[in-house]
Structure formats: C-alpha cells, structure tokens
A and B are shown apart, each in its own frame.
Chain A
Amino acid sequence: DAKTTQPPSMDCAEGRAANLPCNHSTISGNEYVYWYRQIHSQGPQYIIHGLKNNETNEMASLIITEDRKSSTLILPHATLRDTAVYYCIVMKTSYDKVIFGPGTSLSVIP
C-alpha cells in the first residue's frame, strides 16, 4: 500500500520557490518523512528528513503539519538544475528499506 501521495508533476519558474506537497495521512508516530530526488540518469539523492519539527538545510526546507498528515518540501530559489523527480517517503529509520512511490516530476522553467 502506498504510504504517500504526491502530484505527478509540477512546474516552477526559475528563481522562484518550489513547493512540493506530500500527503501521508497514515503516518505512525515513529515514522520519519524523508525526501529524495533523482536527476535524470543519476542515482537518487537525499535532500532532507524530519519527524515532527520543521527542518532546514542547505538544499531545502521541510514543513510538516502539526498533525503530521502532510508535508511540503520547499526549494527556496529553484534553478534549472533542480529539475528532477522528487520522492516523499515515510519510514521508521534509515535501517528501513526505502520504498519509492511515483514521486513528483518537477520542471524548472527559465
């Protein structure tokens, strides 16, 4: 069963913020929200993860709703190199196997 739901595709203008939503209404209390992305012809790349607090790193910000049933990945200033498929995944720890859904194909447009 799919644990997350993401829109299949999104567009974003270069230089603008890209906000990628994810629904995970069945998330359990000990499951983290992880985001990975896959740029064409490359292996997936880790972006960020969180449990219940909002998180920020050099790549992105992760906003998790208070009820933890949804989250948003924010790329603050999207560039053409951010064009990729973005995967939202819920898992207990890094020891869990990573199960990928279809993800969101983000196109950053000049």
Chain B
Amino acid sequence: SAVISQKPSRDICQRGTSLTIQCQVDSQVTMMFWYRQQPGQSLTLIATANQGSEATYESGFVIDKFPISRPNLTFSTLTVSNMSPEDSSIYLCSVDSGQINTEAFFGQGTRLTVV
C-alpha cells in the first residue's frame, strides 16, 4: 500500500494568484497522477507526472496553467496558476502501486476556493 499526504488540505485564494499543492508518498512510486474534481462532478485527470521527464497533460489542460514538478520518486507538486473562480475544485494526487495487477492510491485532496 501507499500513504499519500497532500498539502494544503484546503485554501481560499484571491483570483489572479497561484497556489502550489504538494503530494508526498511514503514509498517510491513510478507514476503520479493529478486530478481535478469540480463541484458535484467526477474526477478528471489533469496530467501524469513521471520522475525525470516532463509531465504528460490530458486534453484541455496545459502546462502554463498547471505546471507540475516531480523531483524524485516520492514527491510531486501541482501549481494552479493565475487562478479564477472556475478553478475552484478539489485537486487530488494519485499514485500507482508499482506492481502489476494492483490498485491505485489516492490522497485526500486539496479543496481550493478562488474568490
């Protein structure tokens, strides 16, 4: 199993500012994923973060808006840049188990409100 810690757990930010969300895992993992969950909606994958390479973004998400760092095998950050109220969501970090035929693990999320 993997235990994921996300910081901050919640924040209220002014529009036009940026917020960096941290994701720390208690073991080394190959792939880390970032999701957004808008109010009342399901989770949408933002990007896949691999250590030592650029993140791979899903359609509709761009690096300028959501820059991601992955400096080592246990840590990643997601920045939400130049925020607007539409960015108000829960942002979640996820990791793969590192083994075939097992499950993914998710953090508890960062609840972001942009005012």
Query: CB within 8 Å of B: which residues of A?
Result: 32, 34, 36, 38, 42-46, 49, 85, 87, 93-95, 97-103
Contacts and interface: CB of A to CB of B under 8 A. Distances in A.
A46 B105 contact: yes
A97 B33 contact: yes
Interface of B: 4, 30-31, 33, 35, 42-45, 48, 92, 94, 96-97, 99-109
Nearest to A48: B103
Given A42-B108, A43-B107, A43-B108, A94 B42 contact: no
Contacts of B94: 43-44, 98
A93 B45 CA distance: 17
B21 to A, nearest CB: 13
Given A42-B108, A100-B43, A103-B42, A94 B102 contact: yes
B103 A102 contact: no
Given A43-B108, A100-B43, A103-B42, A94 B100 contact: yes
Nearest to B105: A46
B78 to A, nearest CB: 15
Contacts of B48: 97
Given A42-B108, A49-B103, A94-B96, 19 more contacts: A42-B109, A43-B92, A43-B94, A43-B106, A43-B107, A44-B43, A46-B104, A46-B105, A85-B42, A94-B97, A94-B100, A94-B101, A94-B102, A95-B100, A97-B33, A98-B33, A98-B45, A100-B42, A102-B42
